[in-house]
Amino acid sequence: MVRKAAVAGYFYPGRERELRQMIKELFYSEAGPHGKEEELTKWKEVSGVVSPHAGYIYSGAVACWSFYSLSLASPVDTIVIIGPNHRGAGKRVALSDADFWETPLGEVAVDLEAVEFLASHYPLFSPDSRAHQLEHSVEVQIPFLQYFLPYPFQIVPVTVWDQTLEVALEISQAVQELSRKRKIAVVASSDFSHYEPARVAEAKDSHAISCIVSLQSEEFYRVIRRENISICGPAGIAALMEYHKRRSQEEGKLLFYSHSGKVSGDYQEVVGYASLIFPVTAE
C-alpha cells in the first residue's frame, strides 16, 4: 500500500520540478543555510533534528538547516519521523501501515521490520492509517529528506496526539531499543509558538529552546505549562531529547530560529519555527 501525498500542492508544490526549485531557493535564501556553512559543524554522528512543519513558504528555509546538517553526518538506515496528530484521528501513538510514502519526488519505503518491532514490543504503538491519512506533520519532512540526503534510506512515520511527557519517555525508550537493530536518526516535527505577537513568541520560544538544548525534558514541559507556549509537538521533541541523552553528553544545538512574520509581514500573529540538531560525535 502506498500512502499518497495529502498536502502536495498546498503545503508545498505538487510537481517535482517546482518542488525541487522551491527547496533550492529556500536553501539559497537569506534565511537558508547557504553561505553560512562555516557556522555549521559537520558532526560525524547525530541523534536527530527538530524541524518545523508549516507551509514551505513560511518555514521551509528554517527546515533546510536541519536537513542540510543531517546530510553532512554519517549515513543512517532509517529515519524515525515523529509528528503531532493535529486532527486527533486514530490511535494516540500511530505507526504507518503503508509500504511506501509518495511525494512529488518519488516513493520512500517504510521500514516494515522496524514498524513490526515497535508494534509487537511496545503496546503504546499501533499501526493506524487513519492517523496518517490527512496529517501533514510527517509528510512535509519527507521531500527535504529526499532532496538533501545523498544516500538511500527508509522511514518510520509516527504521529502522536497524546503529547504528555510520559508518552515521550516511552517513545524514547522504544527508539533506543530500535537503534540497537538499525542505525537511525530521529526527526521531531514541531512548530513553536502559534499566533502570538512576534516579541512574545520569540521570548517564549527562547525559554523553551534553552530547555531543549540543555536536554531538560521535565523543565521543558514546566516552561510550556507556566508560559502557556503553544508548541504543537513537544512529545516528539522530548522523545528525541531523551533518546539523545542515552547516547551522548553533548547538548543540542540551535541552528536557526525564525517566525512567519518574517515572510508574511504580520508581526501581530506569528508562528515560531526552530531548527535544532543533537550531535553525538564530531569529526
Q: What is the CATH number of the domain that holds 236?
A: 3.40.830.10
Identify the pLDDT of residue 88: 83
* 16-28 and 56-72 helices, crossing angle to 10°: 80
Average pLDDT over residues 64-80: 96
Average pLDDT over residues 77-81: 98
The CA distance from 210 to 214, in Å, is 6
Cα 236 from Cα 242, distance rounded (Å): 10
- Read off the pLDDT of each residue in 23-50 and give the average, rounded to a whole number: 88
> Where does the pLDDT of residue 283 fall: very low under 50, low under 70, confident under 90, or very high at 90 and above?
low
Query: What mean pLDDT do residues 43-57 have?
Result: 95
Q: Whose grid coordinates read 513490526?
A: 116
pLDDT digits (tens, 9 = 90+) for 168-225: 999 999 999 999 999 999 999 999 999 999 999 999 999 999 999 999 999 999 999 9
Cα distance between residue 272 and residue 190, in whole Å: 10
Mean pLDDT of 140-156: 98
The Cα–Cα gap between 241 and 215 comes to: 6
Q: What's the pLDDT score for residue 44?
A: 83
**Amino acid in the structure at residue 155:** I
Give the per-residue pLDDT at 282. 63
- Number of domains forming the structure of the chain: 1
The string over 129-165, giving b where at least 16 C-beta atoms fall within 10 Å of a residue's C-beta and e elsewhere, is eebbeebbbbbbbbbbbbbbbeeebbbbbbbbbebeb
Q: How much is the pTM? A: 0.97
Domain extent, residue 33, equals: 2-282
Mean pLDDT of 124-153: 97
